[in-house]
Chains A and B, each alone.
Chain A
Amino acid sequence: MKSLWQTALVALLLCAGLNPARGAEPIRVGSFLAVTGPASFLGDPELKTLQMYVEDLNAKGGVKGRKLELIHYDTGGNAKDAVSFVKRLIKNDNVDLIIGGTTTGDTLAVIPDVEKEGVPFISLAGAVEIIEPVKKWVFKVPHTDRMAVAKIYEDLRKRGLTKVAIITGDGGFDKSGREQLLKLAPQYGITLVADESYGNKDTDMTAQLTKIRATDAQAIINFGLGQAPAIVTKNIKQLGITLPLYQSHGVASKTFIDLAGDAAEGARLPAAALVVAEQLPDADPQKPVLMAYKNKYEAKHGPVSTFGGHAYDGLMIAVAAIQRAGGTDKAKVRDEIEKTQGFIGTAGVFNMTPQDHMGLTVDAFKLVEVRNGSWKIVQ
């Protein structure tokens, strides 16, 4: 009797092991994000979004009958780790494509490897150098820092303000924003009367703001992310400075308003439509996509973040490309990503071409203002 049970057990185990209905090869999506470290404000929602939607797509049957497998590594915002993890993704984990590179530093560091190995790479970072000049395998889905600056300068010109003080942190996001602020100023008739700097971990910027207060600046632009812009905003109020304040899209989230409190009232910044999704007219083609993402993310994780939205855009563009390419052949997928047209994402409507590996225009940014503790669209 005993041996019969034993045989049955062994047979069962064998069947389980040799299950032929294993299913097709999964689609391996590689990702390297700055989930911890100075850019965790960006990387954390990016990872959560990718995980959420990979799970969601798999629950609906996967893509082309194949499940998605997300393999990701945390770079901690360190570009050196980005390089070694991308090598790991390509050589060790055999990924079919890569979505990641939270920071510009991380992205720029891995471009040589991605180009050499020929793996489609959709970056989630901001600087314009990522896609200018165009690189064969590199794409990007967030707006560029140049667009953010253009949006701010456009508004300043509308309000007739020409003398501006800028204050930026010591991160890559801050400094590349500053570079664009300096470059584009003459085009919009703006003169920069002050150019102050702080450390992203600093706790007090009153010294720098005191210097700014003494100039004839008509507006202040603070390009940064994390907690520092909130401190800058509070310091501005503390010093009694009443000049119009512009922030960057790096703080386009509820956390900024929570941290800065009433000091944030009246601050303006360029942001993806995601943060003001409910205020869009129902006819706006972006609205359904935005509301769907927002509700889904907020149900699980709290206030939505535009950076998480970029991860959504990246993943969905990749999935659409895989579907059009009929498989995961890297060259075909790359070609299809390049052909993305009329794709409605959280950041805007994407129309990519062989010369434009991003596909967004300045209008994809909305100008928003903090009013009564929440974001309101301007104009």
Chain B
Amino acid sequence: MLEQFFQFLVTGVTVGSLYALVGLGFALIYNASDVVNFAQGEFVMLGAMTAIALLNAGLPLPLAAIAATLAAILVGLLLERFAIEPAQGASVVTTIIITIGAAIFLRGVALLLWGKGFHALPPFSGDAPIRLGGATVLPQSLWVLGVTVLLVSLVRAFFNRTLLGKALLACSFNRAAAQLVGINVRVMLRLAYGLSAGLGAMAGILIAPITFSSYEAGVMLGLKGFSAAIVGGIGNPMGAVAGGVLLGLLEALGAGLISSGYKDAIAFLFVLMVLFFQPTGLFGHKVAERV
């Protein structure tokens, strides 16, 4: 019984780290612009699909991964330049709908380029399961966990220690003030989208050996990543990670201990409970409203 429980925990953390990685991308763009980018899941998908396509074209995996990440960053920059920037000044809700349109657009492009099938990436270091005291975990899951931790610390350091990161944060706190102190808000925003896309692509490439990818893969991952970011307190990268792991654990424990059919309902019920008691998420900043 304990052994079973331990497997549930391992599964939960494994799945949760996928969500955490995607949630990180949401947190980044929100930090720069107050907008939730609904196309974030699509960046994850694009990273994976591009890498698979390049791999099948003959490139070795590391090169394919780097090229795919760069391609995704480019898409992120283009998205910001041609879809977000022209709508500068629009309300938050309008911008969100633009990102929804972008998500649909990117999904459509993926459909045209790569068809409707499922594709897989080979695991980075084989798929011989590793035994962890009664539970098993795939080597690829350890990659995901490891890289997530690395990326989170990098992102945190970026926001707290570098001037560029602080400038990015300043844009979301008060755009006008940021401009007044000489920050080029347009460039900052573009940077945020590019970075987020890159993060998303890396997540996709890490995840694809476990979950396969298809033109629609972004929808579910985007949803879970968004949930992770919100539960953790949107804007807080650490929160996004915590939220992701929590969500994964809730799903695995719900499936294992209560009912596998209702596991999503159980997980989201807990999410609702968290929000009712902590209206700004687990680690979110208390929001002060202008009267």
**Is the beta-carbon distance between A36 and B116 smaller than 8 angstroms?**
yes
Q: From known contacts A44-B116, A227-B212, A255-B117, infer whether A214 and B4 are also in contact, taking CB-CB under 8 Å.
A: yes
Give the size category of A's interface with B. 20 to 34
Assembly CA distance A210 to B7 (angstroms): 7
Choice from A197, A210, A234, A240 contacting B8 with Cβ under 8 Å: A210
What is the minimal beta-carbon distance from B149 to any residue of chain A, in angstroms? 19
**Is the beta-carbon distance between A258 and B210 smaller than 8 angstroms?**
no
Assembly CA distance A237 to B263 (angstroms): 23
In the complex, which residues 248-269 of chain A have their Cβ closer than 8 Å to any Cβ of chain B? 255, 258-259, 261
Q: Which residues on A sit within 8 Å (CB–CB) of B263?
A: 199, 207
Choice from B118, B210, B253, B255 contacting A203 with Cβ under 8 Å: B210
**Is the beta-carbon distance between A206 and B120 smaller than 8 angstroms?**
no
Q: From known contacts A196-B260, A199-B264, A238-B136, infer whether A207 and B7 are also in contact, taking CB-CB under 8 Å.
A: yes
Give the interface segment out of B11-19, B77-85, B154-162, B192-200: B11-19
Q: From known contacts A196-B260, A203-B18, A211-B4, infer whether A259 and B118 are also in contact, taking CB-CB under 8 Å.
A: yes
A64 within 8 A of B: no
Choice from B14, B216, B261 contacting A204 with Cβ under 8 Å: B14
B252 within 8 A of A: yes
**Is the beta-carbon distance between A227 and B118 smaller than 8 angstroms?**
yes
Q: Which residues on B sit within 8 Å (CB–CB) of A210?
A: 4, 7-8, 11, 256
Q: From known contacts A40-B116, A210-B7, A211-B256, infer whether A203 and B138 are also in contact, taking CB-CB under 8 Å.
A: no
Q: Mark A152-181, 1 if CB is under 8 A from B, else 0.
A: 000000000000000000100000000000
What is the number of contacts between chain A and chain B, taking CB atoms within 8 Å? Answer: 88
B59 within 8 A of A: no
What is the minimal beta-carbon distance from A177 to any residue of chain B, in angstroms? 15
Assembly CA distance A198 to B18 (angstroms): 18
What is the minimal beta-carbon distance from A265 to any residue of chain B, in angstroms? 14
A208 within 8 A of B: yes
Q: From known contacts A36-B111, A238-B138, infer whether A207 and B255 are also in contact, taking CB-CB under 8 Å.
A: yes
Q: Which residues on A sit within 8 Å (CB–CB) of B136?
A: 206, 238-240
Assembly CA distance A170 to B261 (angstroms): 8
**Is the beta-carbon distance between A204 and B210 smaller than 8 angstroms?**
yes
Q: Mark A223-234, 1 if CB is under 8 A from B, else 0.
A: 000110011001
Residue of B nearest to A38 (CB): B216
**Is the beta-carbon distance between B211 and A203 smaller than 8 angstroms?**
yes
What is the minimal beta-carbon distance from A107 to any residue of chain B, in angstroms? 21
What is the minimal beta-carbon distance from B213 to any residue of chain A, in angstroms? 9
Q: List chain B positions with a Cβ less than 8 A from chain A.
A: 4, 7-8, 10-12, 14-15, 18, 111, 115-118, 120, 127, 129, 136, 138, 207, 210-212, 214, 216, 219-220, 251-253, 255-256, 259-261, 263-264
Closest 9 A-B residue pairs measured CB to CB? A197-B261, A203-B211, A201-B220, A207-B256, A207-B255, A40-B116, A238-B129, A206-B11, A207-B252
What 10 additional pairs, Cβ within 8 angstroms, besides A37-B216, A207-B12, A231-B212? Answer: A36-B116, A196-B260, A198-B260, A199-B264, A204-B211, A206-B7, A211-B260, A234-B127, A239-B129, A258-B120
Q: List chain A positions with a Cβ less than 8 A from chain B.
A: 35-37, 40-41, 44, 170, 196-199, 201, 203-204, 206-208, 210-211, 214, 226-227, 230-231, 234, 237-240, 255, 258-259, 261
